[in-house]
Structure 1
Amino acid sequence: MSTNTPSQMMANATHEGARAADASGIRFTSWLARWRYALIAIVALLQAAALLQMIVSRENLIASGRQIDLKVVPVDPRDLFRGDYVTLSYGISRLPQALVSEQLARGDRIYVRLVRKDGNWEPAAAARQRGKPDTPEEITIAGRVTYAPRQVTSTGGTITVDYGIEKFFVPEGTGRELEKEVNARDVTAHIAIASDGTAAIRGITAAGHRYDVEPLF
């Protein structure tokens, strides 16, 4: 009758453990192979659901948000048309640093208080936190800082902001006509703003002709 030495017993245990680990790995790989298509489908559905939620939110904003009109400021004509959309810039795209009492950095979310003066909406204040509630003559629009000076100064500095309303996708079949009218420099953008400050373009009026965003559904 043979008796295993302690070293042999340890070797056997190690061997058995390795075989068990290999078997476990094979089972996991087999399970993954069987379910990979289901996992891919689940991920695709989650992505589609997130995209649909974004689209529905945008459509609701355009339909029910408070509308204000912003004058589009001239830009380089070579930058106007980029395939199927028009590039737009506004007076509120560039803010005097004096409107902000805190240090900002690129990527910061910013809330800009607009006040109606002589029919136009002009920036009156800006901060990282949303201020007082809106009134018929005041409204807050939210954006992202794209440039900010490194130091806060009382004069001279300029902050640039992107509000998500800088692109207007051209309705099908109107590109050439719209390009001529936009180049005439008489353009007003019709903006919808939600209660949290999120903004979207409802349409633009160029040389007296209005072009509305086409609903997706």
Structure 2
Amino acid sequence: MGSNIMKNLKFIIIGALIAAAIQTGLLVKIIYDRGQQLANGTEVHLQTGMVDPRDLFRGHYVRLNLSIGRILKKDVKIVGDLKRREAVYVSLKKGAEEFWVPVVIYSELPEASDNPVLKGKLTYIRNSKDPEKTTYQISFPFDRFFAPKKRAKELEKIRNDRKLGIIVALNKKGEGLIKGISVDGKSIYNEPIY
């Protein structure tokens, strides 16, 4: 009877060690993939306005109001059948200033694109009597930037009289990570890779 308990205990310990190794491996992969995207992803600069709310559980953050979050139909080409609450892919090109602007909205990830593509979710289509004034509202997975209280307050002061932007690193699937924050085209904060 004692040997059965020892056998069971041995299997439990081995199982726990295997589970811990798998979980550790998954965490390492997530951190590594994020670091690789920040280091090697295609960089685009997006114009944003910011608001400084506070979350009781996560602290201070800056809400990002991306200029590419609302796109007029007249400013872009539409490829595919766009549907609310579904993924869309926004092709970007460098604009007249330092910020990138949308040129095409795809309903599916394009196989080949001359420009970087950012994945978002079509949240609303505001139709107009004039079809060219139809507006597409798109949300992106990085609508908040968490910062220490002091940094969040600094950003709030800066945003009132300068051009704020975020630097985003894109991968081939159109997934973006915030790499940094820029003011008047100059990087003022870079996200640590690891």
Shift of 1:67: 1.3
Using the alignment, how far apart are the partners of 2:137 and 2:79 within structure 1?
9
What is the SS of the residue equivalent to 2:46?
strand
What do the CA deviations read for 1:17-47 (whole angstroms, capped 9, x no partner)? xxxxxxxxxx8x9976653343333333323
Using the alignment, how far apart are the partners of 1:30 and 1:148 within structure 2?
61
Contact 2:91 2:117 in 1 (8 A): yes
What do the CA deviations read for 1:172-213 (whole angstroms, capped 9, x no partner)? 963443343245563111111223322111110246660111
TM-score (norm 2): 0.71
**Aligned counterparts, 1:192-207, within 5 A:** 192-206=169-183
Aligned to 1:115: 93
Shift of 1:71: 0.7
Which of 37, 41, 45 is equivalent to 2:17?
A: 41
- RMSD, aligned CA: 3.5
**Aligned counterparts, 1:1-217, within 5 A:** 34-72=10-48, 74-75=49-50, 77-79=51-53, 81-82=54-55, 83-96=59-72, 99=78, 101-106=80-85, 108-119=86-97, 120-131=99-110, 133-135=112-114, 138-143=115-120, 145=121, 147-149=123-125, 154=131, 156-162=134-140, 164-170=141-147, 174-184=151-161, 186-206=163-183, 210-216=188-194
Bigger-Rg structure (1/2): 1
TM-score (norm 1): 0.65
What is the SS of the residue equivalent to 1:88?
strand
What do the CA deviations read for 1:28-80 (whole angstroms, capped 9, x no partner)? x99766533433333333233222211111111111112121111x35x353x
Residues 51 and 94 from structure 1, CA distance in 2 versus in 1: closer, same or farther, beyond 3 angstroms? farther
Matched residue type, 2:176: A
Unaligned residue ranges in structure 1 (runs of 5+): 1-26
Using the alignment, how far apart are the partners of 1:87 and 1:31 within structure 2?
55
Residues 128 and 30 from structure 1, CA distance in 2 versus in 1: closer, same or farther, beyond 3 angstroms? farther
Identity of aligned residues (%): 21
Matched residue type, 1:174: R
Larger relative contact order, structure 1 or 2 (CA cutoff 8 Å, min sep 6): 2
Contact 1:84 1:170 in 2 (8 A): yes
Task: Looking at secondary structure, tell me which structure has more strand per residue.
Answer: 2
